[in-house]
Structure 1
């Protein structure tokens, strides 16, 4: 893709008010929901598209899950850390990039931005639930006895928020049950 093809594709995807040429070979797309950067290398052979996801400090507990997502889920885009921010990044050689792949990469980056920490948090939670199931099964516990232990932990205040309402506690325990039932037979 040439710089004019990149600019044309950006104009098709976003309103002309949202697309700003910030320097030769560099564009910034500003919307109420996100800021997207499109940058060409100095020799215009490589394209990089970036979108900020979350401050790195906020993402610190989930770095392993971000790397796992890079391996399993992110397709043509990747998570990266730069200047204290987790970014969604797409890099491609301009000579082999086609407009359809460029559009798909931008859509995928916007999707990563919209999801934020949700996917990596859910991945972390699932890994912890799997560990609980493994430990319970090693101790010979059934699904029901594991669920009873969790209910006891909540009742005794070992788990959950001490100011949690009874309704919120029941909703939390129902979520535990759904996840345990979903994963129990897999482990």
Structure 2
């Protein structure tokens, strides 16, 4: 029931935000009902941490590009030591949860002054997760003085640009946190 509610909310919400249209009354009522279920605090936390609120964008017309996290470790002189795109995990489940989590970074694309209270809370969670991953990387490597954790969004060329030879995706910088060992 939770997953169905999340799918309905994601699909209708994506349609409304993409087309900037108000849906018919029946669809609007369905959207409000899904918000009631998804708005329950325990359900909302479960959706976020289990990743069930991410990855259902394919039901909506505005399928998003993928996000990636980059972790740049720096030594005490500030020189980059290593560039990592994925933390070390000890369990297969961690990889699955991490891949589900990445889609949650969609909230970082909304202008700060237009965020709802729930979106502000999600941004704080995302920053806490980035900080937690970077902190565990710092603890695992004594030669690292700081880690620059950055979020990027893949930007794929349009069909027109693809025809004109721009075939490679690029990375669009979204946000960055710097975590020091001290």
The bucket for the TM-score relative to the shorter chain is under 0.3
TM-score, length-scaled by structure 2: 0.25
Structure number, greater radius of gyration = 1
TM-score, length-scaled by structure 1: 0.24
Q: Which of the pair has the greater relative contact order for Cα pairs under 8 Å at 6+ separation?
A: 2
